Amino acid sequence: MPKHELVLLKNMMHPGYTGSLTDYEQAGGYQALRNTLGKIGPPDVTAMVRQSGLRGRGGAGFPTGVKWGFLPKDYQGPRYLCCNADESEPGTFKDRQLMERDPHQVLEGIVLACYAIGAETAYIYIRGEMVLGSRILEQAIGEARAAGYIGKNILGTGINADVWVHRGAGAYICGEETALLESLEGKRGLPRIKPPFPATHGLYNKPTVVNNVETLANLPHIINRGPEWFAAIGSPPKSTGTRVFCVSGHVKRPGNYEVPMGVTVRELVYEHAGGMRSDKPIKAFIPGGASAPFLTPAHLDVKLDFEHVAAAGSMLGSGGVTVMEEGTSMVWAALRLMEFFYHESCGKCTPCREGSSWLVQTLRRILAKRGRMEDLETLSDLCKNIAGRTVCAFGDAEVAPIQSTLNHWRQEYVDLINEAETANLIRPEPVGLRR
């Protein structure tokens, strides 16, 4: 049994819980909606969320209530809510579980958010590969609509909120909020330059909020149990609530573990995930999905909350914790992640589009033992010229594996290059340079 109280995963832990509307209602579901719509004013809902300290669970960790507060108050036209269910960050698989095992919890959060921001239409942008998840959500929407929780005149309050599932089609970048909006508008998922922000110029150029699945799933609980309850969990004041951490890699029991923010990786790995698969020591871990820099065993006791992970030189990101055992080649690990970023670069910004290609080629060369010592400088230079020079944060994300492995395991690069240089002592001169 988990020693912490489960919030988001609680229902699905009960044997026989199917995630149907009946099951959800029996577990106390939709009570928050009943107690809020028409009874608590939308600004008060926003104030409660702000007071709870809830921060976005998608990666950036922006305070949810503050984000909602950016919407123009006097705007009369339509507003939109987009539920970001484009879970594609390597190492992350929590939203999939929340949607597939307890879809009504997510839907209740969506309707509550719609009410708070005054939106009458919400789109769940789910990644295209999750066909099962989209079917489950569509079925749940049908149930909720029939029961009067979604649609026109919800529970007789005169409030409307329609929810639609929109499947993406295989592009990691569409998890970036402005790329998501472009994709939802039927275009290539290229990120937009900010500002203007979606709060004023979002979907169809209308005020829009984009929130992650896990963020929205927290809302019914914040309403039911009060913002003070939520704000007391985890690492107050800046990292409140629980977090569903996805543990993958060389552990005995990979999976999703919901714990209060602020637990350590050591606790997550050894107490929840059963320890290391082969009982070898940990060599490296990523604390927040592929975009987060690697950390070392020296960071095993760093608290998993926004501030402490950032202070250790990485980021909490999407909560995807990937653990690697002793013996894993960090150059190889960096290459595997770089291949992902190279494949998924949308191509809009030259530094990212071209740079990712060069990074992959250089890493492949080093791993093939054809590297040269100057490659290390090339890698560093490339990273410096990509990070911070792109429209979205993808550029910063793609250099993270290389910069952090160069930082912590530089010797592995050097050893591979030394082997290459020994093997190529008699290196033929390039023909083209002979005069």
Binding site residues, another protein, CB under 8 A: 9, 12-13, 19, 78, 87-93, 95-97, 100-101, 127-132, 136, 164, 166-172, 183-189, 204, 246-250, 253-256, 290, 320, 322, 324, 328, 333, 336-337, 339-340, 343-344, 346
Indicate the helix (H) or strand (E) that contains 415.
helix 410-423
Closer CB to another protein, 49 or 214, in the complex: 214
Indicate the helix (H) or strand (E) that contains 257.
strand 255-260
Closer CB to another protein, 255 or 297, in the complex: 255
Closer CB to another protein, 43 or 170, in the complex: 170
**Alpha-carbon distance 7 to 4, whole Å?**
9
Smallest distance, another protein to C-beta of residue 87, A: 5
* Nearest by Cα to 223 from 28, 57, 59, 79: 28
Smallest distance, another protein to C-beta of residue 169, A: 3
**Alpha-carbon distance 359 to 335, whole Å?**
8
**Under 8 Å between Cβ of 327 and 409:** no
Smallest distance, another protein to C-beta of residue 339, A: 8
**Under 8 Å between Cβ of 189 and 183:** yes
Smallest distance, another protein to C-beta of residue 229, A: 25
Q: Which residue has the tokens 């199917």?
A: 18
**Cis status, amide bond into 103, omega within 30 of 0:** no
Closer CB to another protein, 50 or 201, in the complex: 201
* Nearest by Cα to 99 from 220, 9, 221: 9
In this structure, are strands 234-235 and 242-249 parallel, antiparallel, or unpaired?
Answer: unpaired
* Nearest by Cα to 288 from 272, 305, 271, 300: 305
Closer CB to another protein, 62 or 164, in the complex: 164
Closer CB to another protein, 67 or 272, in the complex: 272
Smallest distance, another protein to C-beta of residue 251, A: 9
Closer CB to another protein, 91 or 371, in the complex: 91
What are 85's strand-pairing partners? 126
Smallest distance, another protein to C-beta of residue 19, A: 7
**Alpha-carbon distance 366 to 382, whole Å?**
15
Smallest distance, another protein to C-beta of residue 265, A: 16
**Under 8 Å between Cβ of 369 and 416:** yes
Angle between helices 330-344 and 410-423 (to 10 degrees): 100
Closer CB to another protein, 183 or 404, in the complex: 183
Smallest distance, another protein to C-beta of residue 427, A: 31
DSSP state of 77: S
**Under 8 Å between Cβ of 289 and 90:** yes
Contacts of 253 (CB under 8 A, 6+ apart): 247, 272, 273, 274
Smallest distance, another protein to C-beta of residue 232, A: 26
Smallest distance, another protein to C-beta of residue 171, A: 5
CA 435 to chain CA centroid, Å, is 56
Closer CB to another protein, 223 or 338, in the complex: 338
SS3 letters for 153-207? CHHHCCCCEEEEEEECCCCHHHHCHHHHHHHHCCCCCCCCCCCCCCCCCCHHHCC
Closer CB to another protein, 53 or 293, in the complex: 293
